[in-house]
Amino acid sequence: MNNDKLWTKDFVMITIISFLTFLVFYVLLAGLPLYLVGALHIGIDKVGLVITLFLLSAILIRPFAGQWVSNFSQKKLLILASIAFFICTCLYPLATSLPILLVLRVFHGLSFGILTTVKGTICAENIPASHRGEGLSYFSMAMCLAMVFGPYIGLTLTNIDAFQLAFILCILISGTTIIFALMIQVPERTIPKPISSQTAGFSVHDLFDKKAAPYAVTIFILACAYSGISSFLALYANNLALSAASSYFFLVYAVAMLIFRPFAGRCSDKFGINIIIYPCLVLFAVGMFLLSQAHTTAIILLAGAIIGVGYGSITPLFQTQIINSLEPHRVSIANSIYFNFTDIGWAAGAYFWGIVANHAGFRSIFLIGIALIVTAGLEYLLLSRKKKSTHVQADFNINS
């Protein structure tokens, strides 16, 4: 990749790989529940297990994948992970029983965890430092676009019982990732590793870094808040007799995010991340409040636009914060931390919001979500002040 500019052929290709990977993920995420109940006649209580095993496998493997990406050829890992992801996708038409499907989901989750770690690292390490916020904003758009089109494709096909066609489409898409993985050029890394990281020994430091913990906690809290939307907005809209509004919400969310995110990335590179973080947190909270008070489609769509600007813009900025908080040779570990804490937040949040909705109603999900956003904002504010104080003290010691 060319280190002098952002938009290179290889940057475009790794972004396409990201889009295709997440497209398969979201097609299956939306379509598998209907496949389990409609085609395999599996109870609804087992649906969550199928989804959870995939995410859990990805979460558990990512720290180790981060270490592998730091120590081995990134291109070879990208190719091998793409092939493993493709093979697992090919096996879905043959998984006609719950035990087989559960095993398949474990292995598919493992390949997904490795693939997302290596592609994110390749992208982050080869974006010019002066364009890191902007570059990661564009790169993360791939996942967000997949989040819009994947569920639409999956639900459209499975609603007409075209389960096998959905699987075949996923197979073709995942096969295409292998082609791009073979074509992409990944330069040899010139970032020197400290002596301690070159040893054969293994330590927790190889999987996690406490310098990233404060940012990771903020990401976890915000992901918990957003999971209330992703998991229960459709049921909330149905309860309001506004069932069509939920699908349009995500469309409006995506459009607002796509328009504003590049601007947010450029501004963060030029003026600093905090000038974007705090206003976006406020917008996220405002959008959640609108959802809690919604009675019409217009309010739900307005909330979608505001949350698209708010939450949709800050996720790549926090990824940038984590990457910048670690040493250059630990970019892979940084990406692993970012994705893991996002996934853990989504998984934990979805379970928690189910309990809340059952006992206090859907509106409480969004009202409590506001409290989580405020908590995340305060935690980030304290972190920023502590970091600034540390830098001031360090400068004072140097000058002394």
- Distance set, CA 152 to CA 10, 38, 248, 348, 379 (Å): 28, 18, 11, 24, 36
The whole-number pLDDT of residue 176 equals: 95
The whole-number pLDDT of residue 197 equals: 44
The whole-number pLDDT of residue 204 equals: 58
Q: What is the mean pLDDT of residues 289-308?
A: 94
pLDDT at 75 over 50: yes
pLDDT at 205 over 60: no
DSSP letter for each residue of 276-344: HHHHHHHHHHHHHHHHHT--SHHHHHHHHHHHHHHHHHHHHHHHHHHHHHS-GGGHHHHHHHHHHHHHH
For 194, which DSSP code? P
Between residues 154 and 235, which one has the greater pLDDT?
A: 154
Q: What is the mean pLDDT of residues 231-249?
A: 77
Q: Render pLDDT for 282-294 as a digit per residue (tens, 0 to 9).
A: 999 999 999 999 9
pLDDT at 154 over 90: no
Between residues 201 and 360, which one has the greater pLDDT?
A: 360
Neighbours of 121 (CB within 10 A): 28
Between residues 4 and 270, which one has the greater pLDDT?
A: 270
Closest by CA position to 123, among listed 19, 247, 263: 19
The whole-number pLDDT of residue 48 equals: 63
Q: What is the mean pLDDT of residues 222-243?
A: 81
What's the rounded Cα separation, in Å, for the pair 22 and 379? 30
Q: Are 262 and 365 in contact (CB under 8 A)?
A: no
Percent of the chain clearing pLDDT 70 (strictly above): 82
Q: Render pLDDT for 95-124 as a digit per residue (tens, 0 to 9).
A: 888 899 999 999 999 999 999 888 887 877
pTM of the full structure: 0.70
Q: What is the CA radius of gyration of the chain?
A: 21
Between residues 323 and 301, which one has the greater pLDDT?
A: 301
The whole-number pLDDT of residue 110 equals: 94
Average predicted confidence (pLDDT) for the chain: 80
The whole-number pLDDT of residue 396 equals: 41
pLDDT at 244 over 60: yes
The whole-number pLDDT of residue 171 equals: 96
Instruction: Give the chain's domains with CATH numbers.
Output: 1-188 (1.20.1250.20), 209-400 (1.20.1250.20)
Between residues 149 and 33, which one has the greater pLDDT?
A: 149
